[in-house]
């Protein structure tokens, strides 16, 4: 079975632009979570979606938004990019609506560089 997939793998944007990152969960998983990992730090929780509804939100500004589609894939959108948004963006899926209750299966990430 395919694992969690993310696209694109790498992306370069300039300040002020908008970016859309995509994630496809493991087949049968209804929960998708997004994380931002700045170089040298641990991942920071951004959002969790389950059955197309937002179930969890981290401390990120409103420039960050996400949605989940009927096939459980998900998009993360970031508007008005700042240099500080440069990071590895990770997506994780699981069967459970509670992120801490079960194993999270992570994708390889999208590396975003904002110039």
Partner 1 sequence: SQQGEEDPQALSIQEGENATMNCSYKTSINNLQWYRQNSGRGLVHLILIRSNEREKHSGRLRVTLDTSKKSSSLLITASRAADTASYFCATDFKAAGNKLTFGGGTRVLVKP
**Where do contacts with partner 1 occur on this chain (CB under 8 A)?**
4, 33, 35, 37, 39, 41-45, 48, 55-58, 88, 90, 92, 97-109
Q: Which two tokens stand for residue 16?
A: 């002020």
Q: What is the token pair recorded at 72?
A: 């459980």
* Phi and psi at residue 84, to the nearest 5°: -70, -10
Q: Which is nearer to partner 1, 8 or 17 (CB)?
A: 8
Smallest gap, in angstroms, from Cβ of residue 82 to partner 1? 21
- Using CB atoms within 10 Å of the CB of residue 1, give its burial: 0 to 12 exposed, 13 to 18 middle, 19+ buried: exposed
Q: Which residues pair with 74 in a beta bridge?
A: 23, 68
């Amino acid at each position: 079975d395919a694992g969690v997939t993310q696209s694109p793998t790498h992306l370069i944007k300039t300040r002020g632009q908008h970016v859309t990152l995509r994630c496809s969960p493991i087949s049968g998983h209804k929960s998708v979570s997004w994380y931002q990992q700045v170089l040298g730090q641990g991942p920071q929780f951004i959002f969790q979606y389950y059955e197309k509804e937002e179930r969890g939100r981290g401390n990120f500004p409103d420039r960050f938004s996400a949605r989940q589609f009927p096939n459980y894939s998900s998009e993360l959108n970031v508007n008005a990019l700042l240099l500080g948004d440069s990071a590895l963006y990770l997506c994780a899926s699981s069967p459970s609506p509670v992120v801490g209750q079960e194993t999270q299966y992570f994708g390889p990430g999208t590396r975003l560089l904002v110039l």
